[in-house]
Amino acid sequence: MTKKPYLTGHYTPVTDETTAHGLTVHGTLPPELNGRYFRNGHNPKPGITPTHWFKGSGMIHGVRLRDGRAEWYRNRWVHTPALDGVPYLGADGVPNLRASDAATHVIEHAGRILALQEANLPYELTPELDTVGAHDFGGRLKTAMTAHPKTDPATGELHFFGYGPFPPHLTYYVADAKGEIVRSEVVEGAGPSLMHDFGITERYVVWLDLPVVFNAEEHSGIPYRWSDTYTPRIGVMPRTGPATVRWFEVEPGVLLHVANAYEDERGRVVLTGPRYDRGAWEQTWKFWIGAPGHAPQPMVGAVGHRWTLDPATGTAVEEPVDDLTTEFPTVNEDVTGRFHRYSYAVAFPGPDLDEYAIVKHDLTAGSRELVPMGRGRMPGEAVFVPAEGATGEDEGYLLTVVSDLVEDASQLLVIDASAPGTGPLAVVELPRRVPSGIHGSWIADSDADAGAAADGAVDADALSTEGGAA
C-alpha cells in the first residue's frame, strides 16, 4: 500500500521519545536567548495511519537554550486519551473534548504551557514536556479552544474562541493575564465554517466566516468542504460591549492563518495572511487526505493577501501582497493587533522558487527578502524573538527547525530578523531529523517560572542520549 504523503519525506514520523544533552552549536547563540523553543506537529504512533494529516497525534520537539548554550533537545508525544485510541466521538455521538490529538500549536500563558488543537480542550505540559492533563480554565471553558489564541501585548489578556458545526457556532473568550477566564460570550450570526484562526486589533475582534463549511459527506475525519453557495464574510466585532458583529462580504477564498490585524489611521481594519482560492484549497486538501493526484507538498497556491474593512462605510477592499506560495505567517508578537511593517513566512517551491525558503516581507516598502534553505531542506514556521532592548520592530531573531532529507538530519537555525539574508547567527545540531510540523513558540524563562529551576541540575557540557520515554 502506498504511504500517505503526510507520512513520507519531510513528514515521516519518528518512532520514539528521546533526550539529548549538550548539543553542538555552530556560530554564536545570542546569550540573551534563555528559554525554550517548542514546536508541535502531527506524529502518529508506529503502525497508525490517520485518515487526515490533522488526525495524527501531537508530538512536541523542544530545545533548551541558556547562556549561549544549547543544553538539551527532547521530543514527547502529548499523552492524551486519543494517543491511546480513545475516539473523539463517543458511542452516543457526543464529542469527548479531552480526546485531543493536541497536535497544532504549543503556547505559554500565565505560566502554563498548553498544547492546542481546535476541536478539543488544551493540554497542559511541564517545561520538560511531560503531560499534566487537560486544562479547562477551572471549569469555565465549556467548548473546544482554538489553536490560535492571541495575546494582547498591552494587557496580557489571552483572546480565543471555540467553534463548531452546530449552534452555537462560535463562542468568544478572554482570559486575563493571570489565566482566569473573565469573558465568555456566544457570537450570534456566525456559520458552520472552518474557523481555524482569527484576528484582534486594539478595539476589535476579526472573525473569518469563509466558504469551507461543515459537510457530513466528508469522511476523512475533518468534515469540511469548499462550498460555492456559502457567502464568504469577514466579521468585525468591538472588543468591549455586546458581541455584535458587522459582517463584510468578500471574494471567495480561505484564510487559514492570520499574519496580523490592525486599525489604520482612518480607523479601517486591515487583515493580512496567505489566501487560498478554490483550486489551491482543493489541491492542498488532496495532500492532507492523501487523495489520488495530490500535490507534492501540503500547501499549494496560498499567496499573501490584504483585506481592508471600513466600519464607517461598510466596504471591503482586498488586494494581493505577493505572488509567492507562503504559509505559517508570523510577526513580532509585540505588534499583535497593531500596525506591523514586517512579516515572515515559509515560502514553498512554486513558479518562481525552486526550493523552500524563509521570506521576510517589508509591507511598507513592498519588498521581500528570501533566505533559501538549499536542496532537500525544508524550514518550519519562523518564530520571532525580540532582541534584548530592541527599539525597532524587526530587531530580534527568527527561530526555525529545518528538516534535511539529504543528510537525514535537522537543525535549529537562529537568524537575525533585521538582516536574514546574511545567514544564520547560529546553527544547533539536533540529534535526529525532526519531521516538518505546524506551529511553535519561544517560551522565555521569565514566562515559565518553573523553567530554569526545573532542570538546573543538568550538566550542559555532558553529551548523552537517552532512548525511550523519560
**447 and 344 part of one domain:** no
**281 and 342 part of one domain:** yes
Q: What is the pLDDT confidence band of residue 241, given thresholds at 50, 70 and 90?
A: confident
**210 and 328 part of one domain:** yes
Q: Is 157 inside any structural domain?
A: no
Q: Are 287 and 277 in contact (CB under 8 A)?
A: no
The three three-digit cell numbers of residue 23, written as one number:
548539543
**175 and 77 part of one domain:** no
More confident residue, 237 or 461: 237
Q: Is 114 inside any structural domain?
A: yes
Average pLDDT in the chain: 93
**431 and 323 part of one domain:** no
438-to-54, 174, 309 alpha-carbon distances in Å: 10, 24, 29
Binding-site positions: 148, 196, 257, 439
Strands 199-200 and 204-209: antiparallel
Q: Is 153 inside any structural domain?
A: no
Query: Quick check: helix, strand or coil at residue 334?
Result: helix
**309 and 202 part of one domain:** yes
- DSSP letters for 239-295: SSSS---EEEE--S-EE-S--EEEE-TTS-EEEEEEEE-HHHHHHHHHHHHT-TT--
pLDDT exceeds 90 at position 450: no
**343 and 438 part of one domain:** no
**221 and 283 part of one domain:** yes
Find all residues with CB under 8 Å of 89, minimum gap 6, and list them.
95, 96
Q: What is the pLDDT confidence band of residue 37, given thresholds at 50, 70 and 90?
A: very high
Q: What is the pLDDT confidence band of residue 395, given thresholds at 50, 70 and 90?
A: very high
pLDDT at 448 (0 to 100): 66
Q: Can you give the residue range of the structural domain that contains 45?
A: 1-147+374-470
The three three-digit cell numbers of residue 156, written as one number:
496580557
- 209-218: average pLDDT: 98
CB-facing half-sphere around the CA of 145: CA atoms within 13 A: 34
Binding-site positions for Fe cation: 148, 196, 257, 439
**Total domain count for the chain?**
2
The last residue of one of the domains, among 354, 372, 390, is 372
Q: What is the pLDDT confidence band of residue 350, given thresholds at 50, 70 and 90?
A: confident
Q: What is the pLDDT confidence band of residue 446, given thresholds at 50, 70 and 90?
A: confident
Q: Is 154 inside any structural domain?
A: no
**189 and 288 part of one domain:** yes
> Could you report the per-residue pLDDT of 85-101, keeping only the tens digit for each?
999 988 888 899 999 99
The last residue of one of the domains, among 319, 348, 372, is 372
> Could you report the per-residue pLDDT of 66-89, keeping only the tens digit for each?
999 999 999 999 999 999 999 998
pLDDT exceeds 80 at position 311: yes
pLDDT exceeds 90 at position 465: no
Find all residues with CB under 8 Å of 367, minimum gap 6, and list them.
361
> Could you report the per-residue pLDDT of 156-188, keeping only the tens digit for each?
999 999 999 999 999 999 999 999 999 999 999
